Amino acid sequence: MTIKLYNTLGREKQVFEPQDPDRVTLYVCGPTVYNYAHIGNARPAVVFDVLFRLLRHVYGAEHVVYARNITDVEDKIIARSIQDGTPIPEITRKYADIYNSDLAGLNVLAPTIEPWATQNIDGMVALTKQLVDKGYAYTAPSGVFFDVAKMADYGKLSGRNIEDNEAGARVAVSEEKRNPADFALWKFAKEGEPEDAIWDSPWGRGRPGWHIECSAMAAAHLGETIDIHAGGIDLQFPHHENEIAQSECAHGTPMARYWMHNGFLDMDGEKMSKSLGNVKLIHDLLADWPGEVLRMALLSGHYRAPLDWTRDLLEQAKTTLGRVYGALRRVWAAEGGTANDTAVLDALRDDLNTPIALAELARLASEANQAADAKDETRMATARANLLAAGELLGLLQLTPAEWEQGGSEDDKARIDALVQARVDARQAKNWAEADRIRNELAEEGIEIMDGPQGSTWRRV
Ligand code: AMP
Ligand code: ZN
């Protein structure tokens, strides 16, 4: 069964051929953990989670190794630590936990390996040493730099040449560099920087540069040549270009065979980003919307195209998903069927075409409704199995239809539970007016209370 992926290296869709089908390797650049992540940051996590699910389906779950790192040492983290007077590990632990629980709320599977930069410093020093020894790096007053002029094909991923580097550079060009595109492999510690961001090295005390972190962690955990390396389009240059430069000059082999990049999540036509301040935090969105609605919204566009994040997009996703769950509810009791429809899988095998996959999911829902209308138990069982198999690949339909109907966010559920309890209390106190008032208030939101022998429950109607 073939998978086709658009490879940034080569700029075309290619048939994916892993080096070893028993050990397919995927590396996705993870977050820098010093504050809450926004829904734009969730886009690569969700898109490449679909890829992870697809690879597991095709090669077998135990044959796919997925690493997504945590960058837990970086200028912004250090600044935050100094500003708040909080030790770095306290900051990074807290925000890494929030990141992972936010992603779990979007049904993102945990990666196989989650390497933390500070636990891989030795590998970063060793890689830097290899580059220094081979003549690809030089020492300057502020640190050790990679000398891009030494690499003949520097720029091959992004198609940029050495001259037009400044636009994407994270660090300001300094005079100590031989070439403006040179980048830090090792940064010497500065006065006043916290001890928990300083390590020894042959060149002086300091910390690794951001790019070398990924080169070292990918090699240590997945191998010198990996199958797929992925991240947001903004990482293509300079981050991924520099990862390639480091890894390939040190190891003499390609760093990754397929490079994949997701487009931006925009708001009002502009990239959602912390620096522009136009962000919606995953955490806040999860308080207002079911996680699967957010996930479906993220998957409603093709991963390489920009996607505009609007209320309309969310409403639409909620309606569509509600219809699918409605169909699933009608065939829910028909267990034991075998999935036989491959349209969702086929769409994903074609460079993760999630818009088509979601259209096919809607078609499977219609088939479930038709089977239920016809009261055809066999077709109902097949429709149920098809919906669940498609849901597994997409990371949707992970709730039971009953759970979906309870629906909403955790906060919302807690609020409704509290109102239902308040009504129970009012009835016990024979305060019928108050009990009716609460019932009416919930009815206006489309919530029906059902009084039974076990107490009161509720559902959305
Ligand atoms: P950062 O924490 O900025 O390094 O971002 C973490 C990941 O999120 C990277 O893969 C970025 O490319 C990606 N990313 C950040 N902002 C957006 C956005 N607005 N749309 C899509 N991906 C983004
Ligand atoms: Zn990286």
Tell me, in angstroms, the distance from the centre of ligand 2 to residue 227's CA.
Answer: 15
Kindly indicate the confidence band of residue 169, based on its pLDDT and cuts at 50, 70 and 90: low
CA within 13 Å, CB half, 336: 4
CA within 13 Å, CB half, 105: 26
Residue 266 has a pLDDT of 98
Shared-domain flag, residues 253 and 218: yes
Average pLDDT, the chain: 94
Question: Measured between alpha carbons, how far is residue 276 from residues 41, 95, 213, 270, 280 in Å?
Answer: 14, 21, 26, 9, 12
Mean pLDDT within 230-240: 97
User: Atom 12 (ligand 1): residue with closest C-alpha?
Assistant: 232
Shared-domain flag, residues 243 and 390: no
Ligand 1 atom showing the smallest separation from residue 265 Cα: 20
Ligand 1 atom showing the smallest separation from residue 28 Cα: 10
Would 9 be classed as within a structural domain?
no
Would 10 be classed as within a structural domain?
no
Alpha helices, H only, 25-173 = 39-59, 75-84, 88-105, 121-133
Nearest to 256 by CA among 264, 265, 246: 246
Count Cβ atoms below 10 Å from residue 149 Cβ, excluding itself: 13
Would 6 be classed as within a structural domain?
no
Residue 160 has a pLDDT of 87
Task: Tell me phi and psi for residue 161, to 5 degrees.
Answer: -100, 175
Shared-domain flag, residues 412 and 389: no
Shared-domain flag, residues 235 and 315: no
Tell me, in angstroms, the distance from the centre of ligand 2 to residue 240's CA.
Answer: 6
Query: 437: domain range?
Result: 408-460
Ligand 1 atom showing the smallest separation from residue 38 Cα: 16
Kindly indicate the confidence band of residue 454, based on its pLDDT and cuts at 50, 70 and 90: confident
pLDDT tens-digit map of 173-221? 567 999 999 999 999 999 999 999 999 999 999 999 999 999 999 999 9
Q: Is the pLDDT of residue 224 over 90?
A: yes
Q: Mutate which of 28, 33, 41 to test ligand 1's pocket (most atoms within 8 Å of Cβ)? A: 41
Mean pLDDT within 121-144: 98
Cα radius of gyration rounded to whole Å, the chain: 25
Tokens standing for 118? Answer: 């500070």
Paired strand residues for 452: 455
Q: Is the pLDDT of residue 172 over 80?
A: no
DSSP per-residue string spanning 10-45: TTEEEE---S-TTSEEEEE---B-SSPPBHHHHHHH
CA within 13 Å, CB half, 48: 29
pLDDT tens-digit map of 76-105? 999 999 999 999 999 999 999 999 999 999
Asked if 173 and 166 touch (Cβ cutoff 8 Å), the reply is yes
Tell me, in angstroms, the distance from the centre of ligand 1 to residue 163's CA.
Answer: 25
Question: Measured between alpha carbons, how far is residue 13 from residues 10, 140, 160 in Å?
Answer: 9, 42, 21
Ligand 1 pocket: which residues have CB below 6 Å? 29, 31-32, 40-41, 43-44, 231-232, 234-235, 262, 264-265, 271-273
Tell me, in angstroms, the distance from the centre of ligand 1 to residue 49's CA.
Answer: 15
Shared-domain flag, residues 139 and 238: yes
Rounded distance, CA 365 to CA 345, Å? 16
Shared-domain flag, residues 39 and 186: yes
Ligand 1 atom showing the smallest separation from residue 233 Cα: 12
Please tell me whether residue 380 adopts helix, strand or coil conformation. helix
Tell me, in angstroms, the distance from the centre of ligand 2 to residue 172's CA.
Answer: 19
Rounded distance, CA 52 to CA 42, Å? 15
Q: Is the pLDDT of residue 168 over 60?
A: no
Shared-domain flag, residues 237 and 364: no
Alpha helices, H only, 252-342 = 282-288, 291-299, 311-331
Ligand 1 atom showing the smallest separation from residue 272 Cα: 19
Tell me, in angstroms, the distance from the centre of ligand 2 to residue 168's CA.
Answer: 15
Residue 272 has a pLDDT of 97
Asked if 302 and 354 touch (Cβ cutoff 8 Å), the reply is yes
Tokens standing for 302? Answer: 């093709």
Residue 162 has a pLDDT of 67
Q: Is the dihedral of CA 140, 143, 149, 152 positive or negative?
A: positive
Minimum-distance ligand to the CA of 218?
Answer: 2
Residue 12 has a pLDDT of 98
Q: Is the pLDDT of residue 3 over 70?
A: yes
User: Atom 18 (ligand 1): residue with closest C-alpha?
Assistant: 40
Would 32 be classed as within a structural domain?
yes
Alpha helices, H only, 252-376 = 282-288, 291-299, 311-331, 343-349, 354-373
Shared-domain flag, residues 42 and 130: yes
Q: Is the pLDDT of residue 411 over 60?
A: yes
Shared-domain flag, residues 32 and 78: yes
Residue 163 has a pLDDT of 64
Q: Is the pLDDT of residue 167 over 60?
A: no
Residue 457 has a pLDDT of 86
Tell me, in angstroms, the distance from the centre of ligand 1 to residue 240's CA.
Answer: 13
Shared-domain flag, residues 422 and 378: no
Ligand 1 atom showing the smallest separation from residue 41 Cα: 8
Ligand 1 atom showing the smallest separation from residue 235 Cα: 12
Number of domains observed in the structure of the chain: 3
Rounded distance, CA 146 to CA 148, Å? 6
Would 288 be classed as within a structural domain?
no
Rounded distance, CA 305 to CA 234, Å? 13
User: Atom 14 (ligand 1): residue with closest C-alpha?
Assistant: 41
Q: What percent of the chain has pLDDT over 70?
A: 96
pLDDT tens-digit map of 412-435? 788 888 999 999 999 999 999 999
Q: Write the CATH number for 390.
A: 1.20.120.640
Length of the chain in terms of residues written: 461
DSSP 451: E
pLDDT tens-digit map of 289-346? 999 999 999 999 999 999 999 999 999 999 999 999 999 999 999 999 999 999 999 9
Asked if 179 and 103 touch (Cβ cutoff 8 Å), the reply is no
Minimum-distance ligand to the CA of 30?
Answer: 1
**pTM reported for the whole predicted model:** 0.90
Please tell me the least confidently modeled range out of 8-12, 294-298, 321-325, 406-410: 406-410
Which is it for strands 183-188 and 143-146: parallel, antiparallel or unpaired? Answer: antiparallel
Shared-domain flag, residues 173 and 224: yes
Shared-domain flag, residues 151 and 116: yes
Tell me, in angstroms, the distance from the centre of ligand 1 to residue 63's CA.
Answer: 28
Q: Is the pLDDT of residue 53 over 60?
A: yes
Task: Tell me phi and psi for residue 454, to 5 degrees.
Answer: -85, 0
Q: Mutate which of 234, 268, 285, 304 to test ligand 1's pocket (most atoms within 8 Å of Cβ)? A: 234
Would 135 be classed as within a structural domain?
yes
Tell me, in angstroms, the distance from the centre of ligand 2 to residue 109's CA.
Answer: 19
Would 2 be classed as within a structural domain?
no
Q: Is 357 left (phi over 0), alpha (psi -120 to 50) or beta?
A: alpha
Q: Write the CATH number for 105.
A: 3.40.50.620
Q: What percent of the chain has pLDDT over 90?
A: 88
* Residue whose tokens read 């070893």: 20
Would 386 be classed as within a structural domain?
yes
Kindly indicate the confidence band of residue 445, based on its pLDDT and cuts at 50, 70 and 90: confident
Kindly indicate the confidence band of residue 409, based on its pLDDT and cuts at 50, 70 and 90: low
